[in-house]
Amino acid sequence: MFFVEAARLSDGEAIHQLVTYWADNGDMLHRPIGEIYEAIRDFKVVRDEGRLIGTGSLHIMGSDLAEIRSLAVSADTQAKGVGAAIVASCMRDAEEMELERVFALTFKPGFFEKQGFRVANVMEFPQKVWNECVRCPFFTNCKEVAVVRDLRPSATLAVPMSRGFSPSPARYELGEGAGG
């Protein structure tokens, strides 16, 4: 069983190590440790007997939009539903805050599509592109794919539902396909 919970300041180093592991592997972008501490209130974590095995953050971008960032699950805990549970927790927060859309830039659009996101044009998020992407060294050669999930009821109904993003409990069982 595992819980998705708010990160503590003392999680900063472990979050950084997990993100760095996958960034070195080419699966996501690096995140400087200073940025992680600055945004620590955005982060969620999953622990297994005290060890951090998953993380992800929900960053508010404006009155109606937030971004899921730095989603990572430890190499030995892949495919047990941890990533889906972190996304579901972020989506619950977004709904509570009455946000209209949540997006991500990712090398794994297929994972997000399973969570009810659709592939989008990154220019749907000009605040991201012109405030942050322009400073990224990969700006002119970006391989990340934009994905978005609409939260307004009318838009949500248009998206095919999968168990990955049906209302989820705060508590999860570790195991094959325990994502929903």
Ligand X SMILES: CC(C)(COP(=O)(O)OP(=O)(O)OC[C@H]1O[C@@H](n2cnc3c(N)ncnc32)[C@H](O)[C@@H]1OP(=O)(O)O)[C@@H](O)C(=O)NCCC(=O)NCCS
Interface mask toward ligand X for 10-39; x: CB under 6 A: ------------x----xx-----------
* 43 touching ligand X, by CB under 6 A: no
* 99 touching ligand X, by CB under 6 A: no
Of residues 80 and 128, the one with the C-beta less far from ligand X: 80
* 110 touching ligand X, by CB under 6 A: yes
Of residues 141 and 154, the one with the C-beta less far from ligand X: 141
* 59 touching ligand X, by CB under 6 A: no
* 79 touching ligand X, by CB under 6 A: yes
Q: How far is the CB of 154 from ligand X (least distance, A)?
A: 25
106 within 8 A of 112, measured Cβ to Cβ:
yes
Residue 175 CA: distances (Å) to CA of 5, 54, 170, 178: 19, 14, 16, 6
3-state secondary structure of 17: helix
Integer Cα distance of 139 and 9 in angstroms: 31
Work out which of 16, 80, 101, 128 binds ligand X, going by CB under 6 A. Answer: 80
Of residues 84 and 99, the one with the C-beta less far from ligand X: 84
Interface mask toward ligand X for 145-164; x: CB under 6 A: -------------------x
